[in-house]
Amino acid sequence: MMHVEKRELVIPGQLLAEGDYSLGEGVFKDNGNIRAAIMGLADKRGKKIKVIPLEGKYVPKEGDRVIGIAVDDYYAGWMVDINTPYTGKLSVSSLLQRKIDLDEEDISKYLDVGETVEAKIQEVDELMNITLEVTDNEKGKIEGGRLIEINPSRIPRVIGRKGSMIKILQKEGNCNLSVGQNGRIMIWSDSKKQTNKVIEAILKIEREAHISGLTDRIREFLQKE
């Protein structure tokens, strides 16, 4: 039995449900009762209950797509800022998806300090050593575009259910987006005005993530001249 509505704002300790539900993030079980562990929005998908946080730092997880900035290099690759207190390590061979002679080549021609890269988190160990990789599904080095950063907890709303929100942003905003789970978003558009409009829409999503009807409001906002 549910005791809250979907997308209802809840506080730590609040009773969410009773019964045979599976636990997602942000909840705990207390003598058969499921309660919120954090402040956020109650969410139920099938038999799984979770709380979507309203605020929070990015916690790196294996498999996450991230947008990082190279902050240093080493013999075989780069140290990458991924919007956490811990830097990720990306090897040259992973970025290029091939091996090169490290004694003969200057790796800065492939990715220089200050440049942006899209990668996947391959591994996070118990000491928070983070290994990044570039597969066929990530862009690797990113060129052009406009980078913005929002609260990582809002990224699921920017993507939307089954990608619904990101499709609206790209179609109505006439742009291409690359979205990292770490709160960074890259925007490509032929128009500076359109880029700014899409940025406004994303910031609107960040502010209004907890309010129902957001998808329709974003569509109307982007369609408005």
pLDDT of residue 32: 85
* CA 22 to centroid of chain Cα atoms: 24
Mind giving me the DSSP string for the chain?
-B-S-TT-EE-TT-EEEESS-EE-TTEEEETTEEEESSSEEEEEETTEEEEEESS------TT-EEEEEEEEEETTEEEEE-SSSS-EEEEHHHHHTS---TTT--GGGTS-TT-EEEEEEEEE-TT--EEEE--TTS-EEE-SSEEEE--GGGHHHHH-GGGHHHHHHHHHTT-EEEE-TTSEEEEE-S-HHHHHHHHHHHHHHHHHTTSTTHHHHHHHHHH--
pLDDT of residue 176: 97
pLDDT of residue 141: 96
- Whole-prediction pTM value? 0.78
pLDDT of residue 122: 97
What the chain holds in terms of domains, given with CATH numbers, is 9-53 (2.40.50.100), 65-142 (2.40.50.140), 146-223 (3.30.1370.10)
In whole angstroms, give the CA distance from residue 143 to residue 216.
32
Q: Residue-wise pLDDT tens for the chain (225 aa)?
A: 889 887 788 888 999 999 889 998 889 988 889 999 888 888 888 889 998 877 777 889 999 999 999 999 998 999 999 999 889 999 999 999 899 888 888 999 999 999 999 999 999 998 889 999 999 999 999 999 999 999 998 999 999 989 999 999 999 999 999 999 999 999 999 999 999 999 999 999 999 987 888 999 999 999 987
The angle, 0 to 180 degrees and rounded to 10, between the axes of the packed helices 192-208 and 214-223 is 160
CA dihedral defined by 56, 61, 63, 67, rounded to 10 degrees?
50
pLDDT of residue 31: 86
